[in-house]
Amino acid sequence: MAETQQMKKFKTPSKGTPKAKHPISIDHHIAPQTPQSATPSAINLRRSHRLTAAFPEHRPAISSFNTHQSAAKTRKIFENPPLVLPTEISITPASPPPVESRKKRKFHEKSAEKSKDSRNVKYKHAADRKVKKKVYYKKVVYDGGEFSAGHDVYVKRRSDASSDDEDPEVEECRVCFKPAGRRVLIECDDCLNGFHLKCLKPPLKAVPDGDWVCCYCVARKNGEVMEFPEPQAGKKRARTAREKLLSSDLWAARIESLWKEVDGTYWFRARWYIIPEETAVGRQPHNLRRELYRTNDFADVEMESIIRHCFVMSPREFANAADGGDDVFLCEYEYEVQWHSFKRIAEIDNNENDGERVVDNDADWNSCDEFDSGSDFDSEEEAAYEDKKRNRLSQLSSLRPVAANSRKGQIFGLQKIGAKKIPENLRSRKQTDLEKAKSTLLLATLPKSLPCRDREMIEITTFIKGAICDEQCLGRCLYVHGVPGTGKTMSVLAVMRNLKSEVDAGSIRPYCFVEINGLKLASPENIYSVIYEGLTGHRVGWKKALNLLNARFSDENKCRKDTRPCILLIDELDLLVTRNQAVLYNILDWPTRPNSKLIVIGIANTMDLPEKLLPRISSRMGIQRLCFGPYNFQQLQEIISSRLKGIDAFEKVAIEFASRKVAAVSGDARRALEICRRAAEFLQNRKVMAGMADVEAAIKEMFQAPHIQLAMAVSSFCANNGETFPGYDTLLKVGCKLGECRLLLCESGTRHKLQKLQLNYPNDDVTFALKDSKELPWLAKYI
Amino acid sequence: MGVENPAEVAKFIIRSRIADPLFVYSYFSQLPDSNYSKLKYIISSSVTEACNNSVLLLGPRGCGKTAVLELVLEDLLKEHPDMISVVKLNGLLHSDNNCALKEIARQVCMEHQLQFSKMASFDENSKFLLSILRECGLAHKTIVFVLEEFDLFTEGKQRLLYSLLDAMQSVSSQAVVVGVSCRLDADQLLEKRVRSRFSHRKLLFLSSPGEDFQRLAEHILLLPMDSRLPNDFRASFNEKLLNILAGEEFKGVVDQLCYSDSTVSHLLRFLFCAVCHMDLSSGSLSIQNFKSALPSIQRQPKQEALKDCSVLQLYLLVCMKRLEVKEVELCNFNSIMKEYKSIPDSFQTCDNFARNVCLRAFEHLLQRGLVSFQDNRGQGQSTEFRPVKLLISWHELQQGLQSFPSCPVLLHKLMAREG
């Protein structure tokens, strides 16, 4: 294995170019990756050996290269001798930033005028000034295609050049070898070949629903041999880019950023995709045919090696892309090349990161010119940033282990965590109704809509909008209260999400939003540093943060840079009450100052929190209040049935019963959902709809006090009628035991005879529990 | 090693089985509707379907809550290797939030081979917890938090429980919180906002009734097929044992045992005693072994303490008893001494010891725990003046006197006359 891996050491055509002196960022080995130098330190290889073995690496490559459109690029690779001096390696710190949204630049340029000659000349003197002249683009039009950061593309592999050259854009029918034309091609879900409906035997009238497997694959599965028809003599079957990719003759990559080098060549930073066969575990049985993994492996690649676009989608998009063409792929997991582990790609975080940032940067970017010094400055800054980042990573990877839990705000080593193998059961996509019901009833699942809280949400929206929209932005406070499980936090967050989309649409001013949970603070004073960090991103001690915040919100500070209003959401506000209530006072005092532009929304359970506080605080807070009453049974019913919409698992009566029961006790939506989920678990094995009985069983389980069950089992020792006397010490032991379970309240056992006992539950409960006890019928007489 | 006696080997096998909770509780894993299967279902549904659950295991001590949990976790780790990481906390050690979070971070770091710093603050650790939960959720890994002595975590603001349960409300996390407590009202101790986030699964561990015990005993005591014992020995041993276990006499013993305490650990202790009494020459367990094990399990420490008392100490105890009968509320050594001095007046006896001898005997009684001070106040005072209380009852004292071999008749008279 090791030898064959070492034979393969370059990933893309670009590796042969001078660009290869950019160290591959993650694993910090900076061996020049040139085609000829057989460095043994090949750590981050993308190929497993059985695939690499198929490529004869040392054949005279030039002869095998075709002279089609890619000729110029490929030749260049060999004209530039792979002389990469070690000194140069250290010189080039600049590589494009991984955050693509930082650069917003609308710039289109046709790349037709590029000539390889000029490029080669320029390379000589470009090495030292490269940092200064790099220009980043948001979008580049190249070879007739428009590429921008975030797009997915096919990338040529150097060694694949021999196989076929025509590079077909159109898929052909596997039987008649004609392109689709006006007729429909149907794709087999197993071999991914396309067929004309008519070419099939027997011919199909329409595209069937669900999965479809062609007759060839069916035959192969049954053990028969059924060959695909051979193309006519002299005509070679063209392989599509998709086929080449899946047989690892092409790469797929995601463009992280684009830039133009000083010599006019265009480069992009690629984040590789990998096909399941190339991972450490190989293809797993649950892998779909069109599945790819995103890696955390980056490389700088020249634009010329791009073939064309492909489309890598998340599972949800993939499910909707029924006829997206042949270049559609599915990507659900990220593959960690160093640790060979998988991790789901979190869809949420992408949205969170851009949002506000893009909004601020827009103004700056529009103002500066494409080629002026502004961009130079920025790329330098970027370079410095990148440098720092690389230092950090290198530190992490090899030299000095960094503690995972104690870096200010940053956590190291998380990339080590990952599944070595994706568990199979998670990928079986067919859920039964019951499982669907269970997963939608989970508390963690965020419902698509929030029923029954429309009025409150409108109120919150108007409050925030009213506060933001005035030019003055008068500071305001809103106090939200209600019992747990009534959707307070969820409603506020939903409002904030809506507002954010309005900000994105441009209809209201941008603002910044800081969310704090009082119970998650180490101490109430810590809230200052958390707020300050939320606003500025810097971490300071709470005393300093208090001073800074005081200065920020005080009125003399009119000319500060950040003029956006700030919305502060404090959950579990009652936890901030200290002895002299200074924290609450400070926080609620800032909004009242002119020009503070601070809006505070406090959430707590108790209705009368403002009244319990000092008058100077309650006068600042208690003006605007919003009450979230407990849900009544109709609302609970609506909540549950809105979650279960489209899933046929629960009887209507059962839902009503559960919601009535909960509404009678607490009106807590979480409790109602849990009861329904438990009921769904009860009938896991039976294939029927959840009925009343299941719900009742669930309710019984959740509400019944355990002491009654226990009392039935323990069955009393205190009175012993007609049975042998067990001895005082035994009795004492029993007493202590019951005391431990808190059936009895008792003093510690050393008091012995003097120990005082008291029943912890009402007498009626004991009577009830012992009523049915068959073993001790006489006991009932005593009660 | 010489030739091993098969009986000795059998004894060794059985004793090592009793000491191994995993073996003992594997009996419960075979039962269809046991707590084992319920708990396993809950945890495995979190592992495979990413349902976040929180469970409480409630029951008196010695019922095998932790043992069953360990068994479940071990089985699940076998079924889904590399997908579960377990974090164990104990309320006795980590009831402080800061310390608990640090311990969580430490254990997670150990699990994933990350570098751990003990200097990290509460904030950093809680951020670390959140991000690790997220990362593990994305990697389809479940973190199982085991909180032993759950009731002790409910002291104070319950920040730890809140942040754990709140973190479980997000989509990307995949975790189970298992609380183990012997307080049956443990869920009532939760604050309302914590309780609302708790998913209210309760598993009640009850002590097993008598019939169950017989099967459990068979499970433990019957010698296995694959041991290195000779076959005929094993067969005869098992046959005799089955006869005993089915017999009425054995049932009587078990009833007597379960009468006071029917938890599994109690039964195990009883079996261990019985096996230790096994006669090596006969090579099998007899009903006599079980019978003799019973009194050694159910001991009466106070009465046994009486047996070792000297006559003078008994005199003092009887005097205290008499004072109690006379409804003297408070007594100290001086008043007891006065009572003691009055005895020779009414009965002609020569047993009359000096005051300091009596004081010495009295101090012995204090040390034995038969007598105790009324309260903890006045520790500077000398022993003679502090009020004391008798810790044994009239019945026990009388029984003790009767069983005492050389008890003077006078003492019985003293007891009877006023009592």
How far away is chain A from the Cα of B292, in angstroms, using its nearest Cα? 17
Closest by CA position to B269, among listed B287, B289, B293:
B293
How far away is chain A from the Cα of B408, in angstroms, using its nearest Cα? 25
d(CA A502, CA A510): 9
Q: Is the pLDDT of residue A418 over 60?
A: yes
B127 contacts in chain A (CB < 8 Å)? 409, 411
Contact in structure between B47 and B142 (CB atoms under 8 Å): yes
Contact in structure between A746 and A756 (CB atoms under 8 Å): yes
B95: its two tokens: 């009831």
Taking the CA atoms of residue B113, residue B118, residue B122 and residue B124 in that order, the dihedral angle to the nearest 10 degrees is: -50
- A338 CA to centre of own chain: 20
Mean pLDDT of the residues in chain B: 82
A531 vs A47: which has the higher pLDDT: A531
Query: Are A726 and B138 an interchain contact pair (Cβ–Cβ within 8 Å)?
Result: no
B197 contacts in chain A (CB < 8 Å)? 443, 484, 670
Q: Give me the residues of A, 199-238, that contact B with CB < 8 A.
A: none
Handedness of CA A172, A176, A178, A183 (dihedral sign): negative
Query: Are A443 and B196 an interchain contact pair (Cβ–Cβ within 8 Å)?
Result: no
Nearest to B138 among A346, A530, A575 (CB): A346
d(CA B120, CA B138): 25
Is the Cβ of A671 closer than 8 Å to some Cβ of chain B? Answer: yes
- Chain B residue with minimum CA distance to A429: B49
Q: Give me the residues of A, 371-400, that contact B with CB < 8 A.
A: none
Query: Are A405 and B173 an interchain contact pair (Cβ–Cβ within 8 Å)?
Result: no
- Chain A residue with minimum CA distance to B123: A522
Give the pLDDT of residue A508: 79
Q: Give me the residues of A, 581-610, that contact B with CB < 8 A.
A: 605
ipTM of the modeled complex: 0.75
Give the residue carrying structure tokens 């010599």: A263
Q: A352: helix, coil or strand?
A: helix
Give the pLDDT of residue A228: 67
Q: How many CB atoms lie within 10 A of CB B201?
A: 21
Q: Give me the residues of A, 307-326, that contact B with CB < 8 A.
A: none
Closest by CA position to A605, among listed A484, A750, A499:
A484
A727 contacts in chain B (CB < 8 Å)? 298, 300, 303
Contact in structure between B84 and B141 (CB atoms under 8 Å): yes
- Chain A residue with minimum CA distance to B110: A404
The amino acid at B158: Q
Interface residue of A339, A342, A405, A432 to substitute, partner B, most B CBs within 10 Å: A405
Q: Is the pLDDT of residue A77 over 90?
A: no
B260 contacts in chain A (CB < 8 Å)? 717, 726, 730, 733-734
Q: How confident is the model over B191-220, as a mean pLDDT? A: 79
How far away is chain B from the Cα of A252, in angstroms, using its nearest Cα? 23
Q: How confident is the model at residue B177 (pLDDT cuts 50, 70, 90)?
A: very high
Is the Cβ of A445 closer than 8 Å to some Cβ of chain B? Answer: yes
The one-character DSSP state at A395 is: I
Residues A455-464: b if buried by 16+ CB within 10 A, e if exposed: ebbebbbebb
A768 vs A193: which has the higher pLDDT: A193
pLDDT tens digit sequence for A266-277: 888 888 888 877
pLDDT tens digit sequence for B299-347: 777 777 888 888 888 888 888 888 887 777 778 888 888 888 887 666 6
d(CA A324, CA A434): 32
Query: Are A406 and B202 an interchain contact pair (Cβ–Cβ within 8 Å)?
Result: no
Contact in structure between A119 and A263 (CB atoms under 8 Å): yes
Mean pLDDT of the residues in chain A: 65
Is the Cβ of A750 closer than 8 Å to some Cβ of chain B? Answer: yes
d(CA B179, CA B29): 20
Give the pLDDT of residue B170: 80
What count of Cα atoms within 13 Å lies in the side-chain half-sphere of residue A606?
12
Query: Are A737 and B261 an interchain contact pair (Cβ–Cβ within 8 Å)?
Result: yes
Closest by CA position to A629, among listed A496, A492, A488:
A488
Query: Are A439 and B127 an interchain contact pair (Cβ–Cβ within 8 Å)?
Result: no
Q: Is the pLDDT of residue A686 over 70?
A: no
> Burial of A437 by CB count in 10 Å (0-12 exposed, 13-18 middle, 19+ buried)?
buried
How far away is chain B from the Cα of A624, in angstroms, using its nearest Cα? 23
H or E element, residue B179: strand B175-181
Phi/psi-derived region of residue A248, left when phi > 0, alpha when psi is between -120 and 50, beta in every other case: left
- A302 CA to centre of own chain: 30
Taking CA atoms, A554 is separated from A467, A477, A566, A586, in Å, by 18, 17, 14, 12
Nearest to B193 among A439, A484, A741 (CB): A484
Q: What angle do CA B177, B181, B184 make, to 5 degrees?
A: 115
Give the pLDDT of residue B217: 83
A138: its two tokens: 């948001």
Closest by CA position to B340, among listed B309, B311, B368, B319:
B319
B122 contacts in chain A (CB < 8 Å)? 522
Query: Are A752 and B260 an interchain contact pair (Cβ–Cβ within 8 Å)?
Result: no
Q: How confident is the model at residue B249 (pLDDT cuts 50, 70, 90)?
A: confident
Nearest to B207 among A348, A713, A730 (CB): A713
Predicted model pTM: 0.73
Q: How confident is the model over A715-741, as a mean pLDDT? A: 54
d(CA B55, CA B173): 17
Query: Are A520 and B162 an interchain contact pair (Cβ–Cβ within 8 Å)?
Result: yes
Residues B124-142: b if buried by 16+ CB within 10 A, e if exposed: bbbbbbbbbbbbbbbbbbb
Q: A204-213 long-range CB contacts below 8 Å, 24 or more apart?
A: A212/A186, A212/A187, A212/A188, A213/A188, A213/A189
> Burial of A388 by CB count in 10 Å (0-12 exposed, 13-18 middle, 19+ buried)?
exposed
Handedness of CA A589, A593, A596, A602 (dihedral sign): positive
Give the pLDDT of residue A279: 78
Q: How confident is the model at residue A171 (pLDDT cuts 50, 70, 90)?
A: low
> Burial of A428 by CB count in 10 Å (0-12 exposed, 13-18 middle, 19+ buried)?
exposed
Q: How confident is the model over B85-94, as a mean pLDDT? A: 91
How far away is chain B from the Cα of A643, in angstroms, using its nearest Cα? 15
Is the Cβ of A76 closer than 8 Å to some Cβ of chain B? Answer: no
Give the pLDDT of residue A237: 61
Is the Cβ of A402 closer than 8 Å to some Cβ of chain B? Answer: yes
> Burial of A126 by CB count in 10 Å (0-12 exposed, 13-18 middle, 19+ buried)?
middle
Give the residue carrying structure tokens 């428009």: A146
A152: its two tokens: 């997915």
d(CA B270, CA A451): 60
Closest by CA position to A758, among listed A770, A746, A740, A742:
A746
Q: Is the pLDDT of residue A12 over 80?
A: no
Q: Is the pLDDT of residue A126 over 80?
A: no
Asked which of A2-11, A217-226, A476-485 is least confident by mean pLDDT, the reply is: A2-11
pLDDT tens digit sequence for B102-135: 999 899 888 888 878 877 888 888 888 888 888 8
Is the Cβ of A723 closer than 8 Å to some Cβ of chain B? Answer: yes
d(CA B67, CA B85): 18
What DSSP assignment string belongs to A713-765? HH---S--SSS----HHHHHHHHHHHHHTTSEEE--GGGGGG--EEESS-HHH
Radius of gyration of chain A (CA): 34
What DSSP assignment string belongs to A287-319? --TTEEEEEEEEEEEEGGGEEEEEEEE-HHHHH
Give the pLDDT of residue B88: 93
pLDDT tens digit sequence for A630-678: 888 888 888 888 888 877 777 788 888 888 888 888 888 888 888 888 8
Alpha helices in B277-390, H assignment, sequence order: 287-297, 301-307, 311-325, 333-346, 355-368
Phi/psi-derived region of residue B136, left when phi > 0, alpha when psi is between -120 and 50, beta in every other case: alpha
d(CA A236, CA A177): 10
d(CA B276, CA B298): 16
- A467 CA to centre of own chain: 32
Handedness of CA A228, A229, A230, A235 (dihedral sign): negative
How far away is chain A from the Cα of B12, in angstroms, using its nearest Cα? 31
* Beta-strand pair A566-571/B201-204: unpaired
Query: Are A405 and B204 an interchain contact pair (Cβ–Cβ within 8 Å)?
Result: no
Q: What are the beta bridge partners of residue A140?
A: A147
A483 contacts in chain B (CB < 8 Å)? 192
A431: its two tokens: 């859920």
For chain B, give me the number of helices (H) and strands (E)? Answer: 21, 7
Give the pLDDT of residue A94: 40
Query: Are A414 and B131 an interchain contact pair (Cβ–Cβ within 8 Å)?
Result: yes
Nearest to B391 among A425, A724, A753 (CB): A753
Nearest to B392 among A419, A705, A753 (CB): A753
Q: A650-654 long-range CB contacts below 8 Å, 24 or more apart?
A: A650/A437, A650/A676, A650/A679, A650/A680, A650/A689, A650/A690, A651/A689, A651/A690, A651/A691, A651/A692, A653/A691, A653/A692, A654/A679, A654/A689, A654/A690, A654/A691, A654/A692, A654/A694, A654/A695
Query: Are B393 and A753 an interchain contact pair (Cβ–Cβ within 8 Å)?
Result: yes
pLDDT tens digit sequence for A518-577: 888 888 888 898 888 888 888 888 889 888 888 888 765 555 556 678 888 998 888 888
Q: How confident is the model over A49-66, as a mean pLDDT? A: 37
Give the pLDDT of residue B87: 93
Q: Give me the residues of A, 133-192, that contact B with CB < 8 A.
A: none
- Chain B residue with minimum CA distance to A706: B184
Give the residue carrying structure tokens 């409300």: B169
